[in-house]
Amino acid sequence: MIVAFQGEPGAYSEAAALKFAPASQTLPCPSFDEVFAAVRDTRATHGILPMENSIGGSIHRNYDLLLEHDLPIVGEVVLDITHNLLVLPGTTMEQVKKIYSHPQALAQCERFLRSLPGVSVEATYDTAGSAKLVKEKGLKDAAAIASDRAAQVFGLEILKPEIQDFSDNITRFLVVSRLAEHDEAADKTTVVFSLPNEPGSLFKALSVFALRDIDLTKIESRPIRGRPWEYLFYVDLPVGRHDLKCARALVHLAEFARSMRTLGSYPSWKSRDAATTGA
């Protein structure tokens, strides 16, 4: 198995890929678009994408990409995020004048950064890429916010560990592949649909799940390009598509939705984790 991810080796997405498939090879990609291209072109068997963070919210670009590409979701990973301040060996806090990291990591460490007068911050494309920058340019007056794995990969020291503002910093990733995996253990389904712009249309759509006691664990709206003020709705259902009540709900929804597509039915991370640990 080869899992494509966005970023440099040591990125949180790579950690999520190895959590999903510990024996897999990983393929770093410069962008989320390239992750999909790597799977589509058979350079990778799977791709992994961060979808939402418990602090920063949804990564909207990846919702759009799920719709643009015909690559089904086959799994998910939930990863605890721990941000650390990484420096070249021997660098002290007093020497640090600039800090590099991904915009979301910077936002998640805002309290810590505000406590550093005279230190500037600069956004980069990737947390691990920031660590690589500090290492390759030999920046003795700079630091990167990244994972402990990035410190190991690039030979940096952890000057300040766990600098994120909140301890419950968790990111949910989705795994895509070229072919859907017909897994009887699937207990989660992701669907996207659009609705006519008329009174009660969203109420009707959600009622097909409520009437069958199907919860919504996530709902996300995204604008439809070329149709101002019209939206796509992405929903996560805690039930597999093979379940009869889920199948009936989707047939019911299709009766009045303008468009509808099942993006994948897969084992939730909770169920997968329990199976691994024997819980």
DSSP 8-state symbol, 94? G
- From 111, 154, 113, 107, select the one nearest 130 (Cα to Cα): 154
Burial class (CB in 10 A: 0-12, 13-18, 19+), 178: middle
- Residue identified by tokens 């990111």 is 171
Question: Could you tell me the pLDDT band of residue 179, with boundaries at 50, 70 and 90?
Answer: confident
Radius of gyration, alpha carbons of the chain: 21
Considering 142, 177, 212, which residue would you say is the last residue of a domain? 177
Just list the catalytic residues. Answer: 171, 173
Q: Are 102 and 127 in contact (CB under 8 A)?
A: yes
Full-model pTM: 0.89
Task: Indicate whether 178 pLDDT > 50.
Answer: yes
* Per-residue pLDDT tens over the stretch 241-268: 999 999 999 999 999 999 999 999 999 9
Question: Could you tell me the pLDDT band of residue 276, with boundaries at 50, 70 and 90?
Answer: low
Considering 177, 211, 227, which residue would you say is the last residue of a domain? 177
Q: What is the CATH number of the domain that holds 14?
A: 3.40.190.10
β-strands 2-6, 46-53: how paired?
A: parallel
**pLDDT computed for residue 167 by the predictor:** 84
Task: Indicate whether 139 pLDDT > 80.
Answer: yes
Question: Could you tell me the pLDDT band of residue 225, with boundaries at 50, 70 and 90?
Answer: confident
Q: Are 71 and 176 in contact (CB under 8 A)?
A: yes
- Are 104 and 73 members of one domain? no
- Are 193 and 269 members of one domain? yes
Burial class (CB in 10 A: 0-12, 13-18, 19+), 228: exposed
Q: Are 62 and 50 in contact (CB under 8 A)?
A: yes
Task: Indicate whether 64 pLDDT > 60.
Answer: yes
**pLDDT computed for residue 279 by the predictor:** 44
Percent of the chain with pLDDT over 90: 84
In a domain, 182, yes or no: no
Mean pLDDT of the chain: 92
* Per-residue pLDDT tens over the stretch 140-167: 999 999 999 999 999 999 999 999 998 8
- Residue identified by tokens 């919210």 is 57
- From 246, 271, 238, 269, select the one nearest 175 (Cα to Cα): 269
| The total number of structural domains that make up the chain | 3
The two tokens of residue 5 are: 């991810």
In a domain, 183, yes or no: no
> What distance in Å separates the CA atoms of residue 75 and residue 73, rounded to the nearest whole number?
6
- Are 268 and 206 members of one domain? yes
- From 49, 271, 75, 21, select the one nearest 190 (Cα to Cα): 75
If one counts every other C-beta atom within 10 angstroms of the C-beta of residue 278, the result is 5
- Are 67 and 89 members of one domain? no
**pLDDT computed for residue 275 by the predictor:** 53
Angle between helix 60-68 and helix 32-40 axes, rounded to 10 deg: 30
Q: Which domain holds residue 28?
A: 2-81+169-177
- Are 52 and 110 members of one domain? no
**pLDDT computed for residue 272 by the predictor:** 59
> What distance in Å separates the CA atoms of residue 13 and residue 16, rounded to the nearest whole number?
5
